[in-house]
Amino acid sequence: MNNATLFLSKTIKSTDMRNLISLIAILCLSLSLAGQSLTDALRYSNLIQGGTSRVIGTGSSFGSMGGDFGVLGINPAGISEFKTSELMFSFSFNGGETRSSLENNTFVSTGHANEPRIENLGIVFSARPRGAGLVTNNLAIGFTHYNNYNQDFNYEGYSKGSITERFAERANGRDPDFFDPFESQLAWETGALFDFDGDLVYETDFDTIQDVYKSQSVSRSGRINELSIAWAGKFDKDLSLGVAIGIPFISFEEDKIYREEDLDDRTPFFNELEYGERLATSGTGFNFKIGLGYVLEKTLRFGLAYQSPTYYSLDDNYFTILNYSFTDSEGRQEFESGSPDGRFNYKLTTPSRLTMSVGTLFKSDAVKGFVNFDANYLNYTANQFDFTVDNNDPSEAEFEREVNTEIDQQLQSVFNFNIGGEIAFERIRLRAGVGLLGSPYAVDNAFDFSNVYSLGFGYRANRIYFDVAYQYRTLTEGYIPYQVLDQKRLQNIDNETTFTKLSFTVGFKI
């Protein structure tokens, strides 16, 4: 049972009908802690293509081409272009920076941790065809890195409101014996909440109009890696077919430390507050892909690929801790309280994907190459949570409906576009590409894109090749550190983020 459900079930037992009226609204406040929310659905369904440096260097625009292991994640039919068996290995360095601002306060810039990681590892077996009309008969096995979740950001400044408002909203109308153990109970035990009148309407040290100095540091890490097994073959030199099974592995960790401080004695009694949250998510999934390729007049190429929904089984582990300091008649007081270890198992189904591609080959006396265009369609409202994996608790089913309704109302379907190409001078390869990623949020315009820019270089010898790629991605998004019922009192953080990737691939013909 997750913390929202634990809170709900205990509350029903201890409140009258007057208090139950507010439960649906309070459920919405519960979405931010345990990790099952619209934001988490987007984290695992909004994929950023990785793989080999050749594919990254062309802006991940490779759907109608082939002969590179990186095409497997776009259109498995491209594996049919291998004429010999190959082994390839890629690694990358990932970094970037986030500029964060709390309302009208100054931007704070924070660099991301820059660490090496395996980007891709794969092998393609090319066998002699035995069937009639089959020109190539290839099997590919390996894994591909998708999303890189490494991100650190900080903000600070004055704004109206305090996180104790949230703690009070989650406590009002309930006896302390029935507080949720991750927020309200911690606030009660440390003195951040108190009840002078004994009416179960809880007070804090803050009024509703004063400015409060607040800051937060957020550190995220993790990735999605997918193990793939694919078969592809080419028929009569014009038509190719590819099928693949994918097993993605999710790893995500988030540590947040939120602080409030009374730097210039604006708030009587209050000194400082520190609230820490720890979330770790892991899990595996399953999907399949099927793709077609067609070559017209040897130079014009077309691709069509479908990836099924990915069916994830996920496990969240979470923990919170609160430190609160105030000064009363007995002097400075400081208390700390930590939650129990929370754990929740659930399922998530992410949307299917349809990719349409067109490209052309060109060749002159000294130069050859290609240009490719991909259009990718997915419907983010198809994200669906299942919270009743381990039980048939009606409150779990209600929480599930709340989250899935939020997904349906606030997300939309999008087109993503990738265009890129490669120019070859004898053994040298130069590449470039651009990706346009549509916004999944329904409030955004259909043409609001975040951009991905790529450059690449390659060298081909007789039995070995080497590629390098640089990827630069920009993203502008909002962040809310805590939820309260009054939408006008939400703390709005503007994040302007750049992500960078430097990737290297070495391949061998075997």
Tokens 């929904």 locate to 309
Burial 364-401 (b: 16+ CB within 10 A, else e): eeeeebbbbbbbbebbbbbbbbbbeeeeeeebbebbbe
Task: Give pLDDT, residue 354.
Answer: 97
Return the pLDDT at 430. 96
pLDDT confidence bin for 293, thresholds 50/70/90: very high
Looking at residue 18, its pLDDT comes to 32
Place of tokens 């990735």: 223
- Characterize the bridge pairing of strands 342-350 and 300-307: unpaired
Q: CA angle 315-317-320, nearest 5°? A: 155
User: What is the secondary structure of 152-221 as a DSSP string?
Assistant: EEEEEEEEE--THHHHHHHHTTS-GGGS-TTTHHHHHHHTSSB-SSSSS--B-S--SSSEEEEEEEEEEE
Residue type, 270: F
SS3 (DSSP) at 4: helix
User: DSSP letter at 367?
Assistant: -
- For the segment 33-61, what is each residue's pLDDT rounded down to a tens digit? 445 788 889 999 988 877 899 999 999 99
267 falls in which pLDDT band (50, 70, 90)?
confident
Single-letter code of the amino acid located at 243 = V
CB atoms inside a 10 Å sphere around CB 470: 17
The size of the chain, in residues, is 510
State the residue for tokens 């400082």.
272
Structure tokens, 309 = 């929904």
Query: pLDDT band at 96, cuts 50/70/90?
Result: very high
Q: Is the pLDDT of residue 160 over 60?
A: yes
Q: What's residue 9's pLDDT?
A: 34
433 contact partners, CB below 8 Å, separation of at least 6: 57, 58, 59, 60, 61, 418, 419, 420, 421, 453, 454
- Report pLDDT digits (tens) over 383-416: 999 988 877 778 778 888 989 999 999 999 999 9
CA 475 – CA 378 distance, rounded (Å): 19
pLDDT at residue 313 tops 70: yes
pLDDT at 364: 86
Residue with the two structure tokens 């068996």: 85
DSSP string, 479-497: E-SS--S-GGG---EEEEE
**Dist. CA 461–CA 291, nearest whole Å:** 30
For the chain, domains (ranges, CATH) are 3-113+136-205+229-244+283-315+344-509 (2.40.160)
Name, in order, each residue with C-beta under 8 angstroms of 479's C-beta and a sequence gap of 6 or more.
Answer: 100, 153, 218, 493, 494, 495
* Helix H or strand E encompassing 40: helix 38-45
Q: Which residue has the tokens 């010898």?
A: 461
pLDDT for position 148: 86
pLDDT above 80 (res 12): no
Beta-bridge mates of residue 203:
194
Confidence of residue 444 (pLDDT cuts 50, 70, 90): confident
Q: How far apart are the first and last CA of the chain?
A: 52
Residue 197 confidence (pLDDT): 86
- What crossing angle do the helices spanning 394-410 and 38-45 adopt, rounded to 10°? 60
Mean pLDDT score, 308-316? 95
**pLDDT at site 448:** 81
What pLDDT score was predicted for residue 35? 52
Q: Answer whether residue 107 shows pLDDT above 80.
A: yes
Tokens 């019922």 belong to residue: 485
Q: What is the pLDDT of residue 510?
A: 87
CA distance 26 to 10: 14
Find the mean pLDDT for residues 329-351. 93
- Residue 45: phi and psi, rounded to 5, are -110, -15
Residue 347 CA to residue 316 CA, distance in Å, equals 11
Whole-number Å distance between alpha carbons of 29 and 32 = 7
For residue 78, the 8-state DSSP code is G
Residue 454 has a pLDDT of 96
CB of 314 within 8 A of CB of 347? yes
The per-residue pLDDT for 2 is 38
The answer to whether the beta carbons of residues 301 and 265 sit under 8 Å apart is no
Report helix, strand or coil for 147.
strand
Q: Which two tokens stand for residue 248?
A: 């993605």
How buried is 163 (Cβ within 10 angstroms: 0-12 exposed, 13-18 middle, 19+ buried)? Answer: buried
Tokens of residue 502, six digits: 């430097």
**Span 169-174, mean pLDDT?**
92
Residue 158 has pLDDT above 90, yes or no: yes
The pLDDT-based confidence of 27 (bands split at 50, 70, 90) is: very low
pLDDT at residue 91 greater than cutoff 80:
yes
- pLDDT at position 132 is 65
CB atoms within 10 A of CB 129: 15
Sign of CA dihedral 124, 116, 151, 416: negative
User: Higher pLDDT residue, 430 or 148?
Assistant: 430
pTM of the model: 0.86
Eight-state DSSP code of residue 61 = -
Distance (Å, whole) CA 362 – CA 153: 45
| pLDDT for the residue numbered 8 | 32
pLDDT at 17 over 50: no
Mean pLDDT, residues 478-494 taken together: 89
Structure confidence at residue 25 (pLDDT):
37
pLDDT, mean of residues 453-466: 94
Nearest 10 degrees: Cα torsion 446, 450, 455, 461: -70
The model's pLDDT over 123-154, given as tens digits with 9 standing for 90+, comes to 999 987 776 678 889 999 999 988 889 999 99
What's the number of CA atoms in the CB half-sphere (13 Å) around residue 187?
25
